[in-house]
Amino acid sequence: MALLDVRNLSVSIPTPDGDVHAVRSVDLQIERGQIHGVIGESGCGKTMTGMAALGLVPKGARIAADRFHFDGEDLRENARGLRGRRIGLISQDPAAALNPVLSIARQLDDVIRAHRDLPRSVRQAEATALLAATGLPDPEKVLKSYPHQLSGGMQQRVVIAQALATGSDFLIADEPTTALDVSVGAQVLALLRKLVNERGLTVLMITHDMDVIAEACDRATVLYAGRSVETGPVGAILRHPAHPYTRALLSALPDAAPHGARLAAIEGSIPPPRSAIVGCAFAPRCPQAMPVCSATAPPGSRRDTHHWLCHLPEDAA
């Protein structure tokens, strides 16, 4: 049984100008011990999907799903109870996630104390061990530091240590490398992989960067306009992308263009979140669109554990 089992998830936010469809139809099945990436442009519903699993959607938002379970528990009923206890968050901006006026020791101690009844000396030892587990040199010195005294990579490792301090076994990493340079970001991804292998963690990796998917993830789901349009093993998606949007994302990578050539771009934009969608949402931007694409919702196709939504025949994928 998948640890996280999400089927046909939607999140709608009522406004005076009409409902905002932040998530329209997302499917995710994430097995224990995997890093599962969710990728797409800004506004495709990546972060809102993660926030729904944490029970942190905006006030008044409506969550609907055929199934929205974590380890057998319905997240529509118990997301708050699972948050922190089983599900943790690694935010994309560590500087904003840390309190600038409190030492790292105080901030880690607050997290440990909130989740476990331990003597102060044991909490201090636990905080030191958690920082050491994230690869931070001289954790005792880091504990005495304040966030502004640490580099961005060190701050992100502290945020990961905080997530581990809750005892959570499922982490939602929301763009964890966005605020970091390339080399430090690669170190953070390697750290997450190491923690998954050593501690049996499971990670939902939210990203807009296909290189992050390639480097860190076991499986991936591509979102477009709040819908899951392709899911499969990372190798299959990278070598044999089936949905035109996935192929467009891969074509837009800098390495995909010959040296000196103009980079590929996806013309147009995602449909506005208040608009209704008829047919395939990607049809107005798709170079292979057919008349049926704009009129009829695309059917599902499957190749082993790799599946996608598209009107194109499989041999055209």
> What structural domains and CATH numbers belong to the chain?
4-86+168-316 (3.40.50.300)
Helices (runs of H) and strands (runs of E) counted in the chain = 11, 13
* Local mean pLDDT, 10-residue blocks, the chain (317 residues): 96 94 97 97 94 95 97 94 93 91 96 90 95 93 96 94 93 90 91 94 95 95 97 96 94 74 83 92 94 95 95 76
Residue pair 166/82 in contact by the 8 Å Cβ criterion: no
Closest C-alpha to 300, from 23, 8, 31: 8
Backbone angles phi, psi at 177, to 5 degrees: -110, 0
Work out the angle at residue 67's Cα, subtended by the Cα atoms of residues 63 and 68, and round it to the nearest 5 degrees.
60
Burial class (CB in 10 A: 0-12, 13-18, 19+), 142: buried
How much is the pLDDT for 315? Answer: 67
How far apart, in whole angstroms, are the C-alpha atoms of residue 121 and residue 128?
11
Specify the pTM: 0.93
At 62, which helix (H) or strand (E)?
Answer: strand 62-64
Closest C-alpha to 231, from 310, 297, 316: 310
